[in-house]
Amino acid sequence: MPTSCSFPCQRSWISYHPSSINLRSHRFVVASSAAAGMELSLTRPDDWHLHLREGELLHAVASHSARQFGRAIVMPNLKPPITTTEAAVAYRQSILKALPEGSVFDPLMTLYLTDNTSPEEIKLARQSGVVFAVKLYPAGATTNSQDGVTDIFGKCIPVLEEMAKHNMPLLVHGEVTDPSVDIFDREKVFIETILEPLLKKLPHLKIVMEHITTMEAVKFIESCSEGSVAATVTPQHLILNRNSLFQGGLQPHNYCLPVLKREIHREAIVSAVTSGSNRYFLGTDSAPHERRRKECTCGCAGIYNAPVALSLYAKVFEQAGSLDKLEAFTSFNGPDFYGLPRNTSKIKLRKSSWKVPVSYPYEHGEIVPMFAGETLEWLPSNN
């Protein structure tokens, strides 16, 4: 029976100091700074890591991403997972059907890597024109990863060689699953025991380390050759630290995997991303679960951040005095890495307060977004 926490919960923003904003540094992206509030005009962003789900959940969330983003790399961890190009093409059709009328949102599909994925499947994926990457879930690492890879060096080298040939990126959920490794160390150990040896073996494989959470990941990304290895970064790993899981009571809506880390890790990621390096790009990892699957005795991992992500990224860059670097992170670095054109349309971000809905109801449930009921400052709009 699902239960919910009635403890009066404190929020746990890392505090921001608007007085530290350096207005001079972001002059060229400011569309207007009238008294009503500053306005940024950005090339339309893409989301390079998104969970859209299927069925009712897909219909409940698709428009939130489609309104703001031009494209998204869509994660394949459905039940059953998207392991073939044929399944990816069918899934793409169901996403297109769930979009609001007139939407030009372009879902970029991925395949779910298993011990049995064949090199032939990679050829089909490349030929399809709709599959853009392959996702590595170590078996048991996260939601719907039970069909993931059990032994990458023993089972997957031929398929990874084929991907390198086709310039098809490997998207990595970078955590070991060994239960003897502390959950807060799983990313660091994955880098040492899997990623570094893998790159030595296959130096031409393009890799995106997804949703990085540690200073070790930043160090690893910086050590790799530019354009060959990159990272996506989520709003939650830029804004929250692991205290947010426990502040004022257990906070299931802040639980995601990889789990939030210490403040020093958050700070390292913020510095890396706001430095303007093109090795990092926007990937929300927005991962909706029905409320009862979050607020229960064995709550699912995943934060639903699609409606708030752009506001939060803007806040992080503003706080760092780096609003001039925001557009490259949201809209340039991703397509450049994937070898795709940048979007041509624009969106606006207005510096005006807006209240995040407490939940998004749909026919048989509801989804609680990140910062539900809170007031945020940057409001995205299409005109």
Say whether residue 143 binds ligand DOR (CB under 6 A): yes
Nearer to ligand DOR, 121 or 290 (CB): 290
Beta bridge partners of 72: 47, 107
Nearer to ligand DOR, 300 or 347 (CB): 300
Of 78, 133, 239, 257, the residue at the interface with ligand DOR (CB under 6 A) is 257
From residue 93 to residue 112, the character string flagging contacts with ligand DOR as x (rule: CB under 6 A) and all else as - is: --------------------
From residue 65 to residue 84, the character string flagging contacts with ligand DOR as x (rule: CB under 6 A) and all else as - is: ------------x-------
Polymer length of the chain:
383
Distance CA 226, CA 235 (A): 23
In the residue annotation, 173 being an active-site residue is answered as yes
- Among the listed ranges 97-105, 221-229, 285-293, 314-322, the one in contact with Zn ion (CB under 5 A) is 285-293
What's the min distance (Å) between Cβ of 24 and ligand DOR?
Answer: 38
From residue 26 to residue 65, the character string flagging contacts with ligand DOR as x (rule: CB under 6 A) and all else as - is: -------------------------x--------------
Concatenating the DSSP letter of every residue in 249-285 gives S--GGG--SSPP--HHHHHHHHHHHHTT-TTEEE---
Is there a contact between 119 and 164 (Cβ–Cβ < 8 Å)?
no
In the residue annotation, 237 being an active-site residue is answered as no
Say whether residue 113 binds ligand DOR (CB under 6 A): no
- Cα atoms in the Cβ-side hemisphere of radius 13 Å centred on 132: 20
What's the min distance (Å) between Cβ of 360 and ligand DOR?
Answer: 16
In the residue annotation, 211 being an active-site residue is answered as yes
Nearer to Zn ion, 43 or 234 (CB): 234
Letter string b/e over residues 162-178, b meaning 16 or more CB atoms within 10 A of that residue's CB: bbbeeebbbbbbbbbbe
What's the min distance (Å) between Cβ of 51 and Zn ion?
Answer: 6
Say whether residue 285 binds Zn ion (CB under 5 A): yes
Say whether residue 302 binds ligand DOR (CB under 6 A): yes
Distance CA 344, CA 106 (A): 13
Q: Which of 260, 289, 291, 307 is nearest to 144 (CA)?
A: 289
Q: Order across the sheet with 71-74: list the strands.
A: 47-50, 71-74, 106-112, 131-136, 170-172, 207-209, 229-233, 280-282
Strands 229-233 and 280-282: parallel
| Catalytic residue selected from 188, 206, 211, 253 | 211
Binders of Zn ion among residues 186 to 205 (CB under 5 A) are: none
Say whether residue 244 binds ligand DOR (CB under 6 A): no
| Catalytic residue selected from 26, 46, 49, 289 | 49
What's the min distance (Å) between Cβ of 141 and ligand DOR?
Answer: 7
Q: What is the DSSP letter of 195?
A: I
| Catalytic residue selected from 26, 47, 106, 135 | 135
- Rounded to the nearest 10 degrees, the angle between the axes of helix 85-98 and helix 119-128 is 40
Say whether residue 173 binds ligand DOR (CB under 6 A): yes
Is there a contact between 269 and 240 (Cβ–Cβ < 8 Å)?
no
Beta bridge partners of 354: 376
Nearer to ligand DOR, 42 or 257 (CB): 257
Beta bridge partners of 350: 39, 379
Strands 39-43 and 30-32: antiparallel
What's the min distance (Å) between Cβ of 38 and Zn ion?
Answer: 32
What's the min distance (Å) between Cβ of 43 and ligand DOR?
Answer: 27
Say whether residue 331 binds ligand DOR (CB under 6 A): no
Nearer to ligand DOR, 160 or 172 (CB): 172
**Longest pairwise C-alpha distance within the chain:** 62
Q: Which of 30, 17, 37 is nearest to 378 (CA)?
A: 37
Of 142, 213, 311, 343, the residue at the interface with ligand DOR (CB under 6 A) is 142
Distance CA 348, CA 91 (A): 30
Say whether residue 286 binds ligand DOR (CB under 6 A): no
Q: Which of 294, 260, 299, 296 is nearest to 369 (CA)?
A: 294
Say whether residue 334 binds ligand DOR (CB under 6 A): no
Residues recognised as catalytic: 49, 51, 135, 173, 211, 285
Residues in contact with ligand DOR by CB under 6 A are: 51, 77, 142-143, 173, 256-257, 287, 301-302
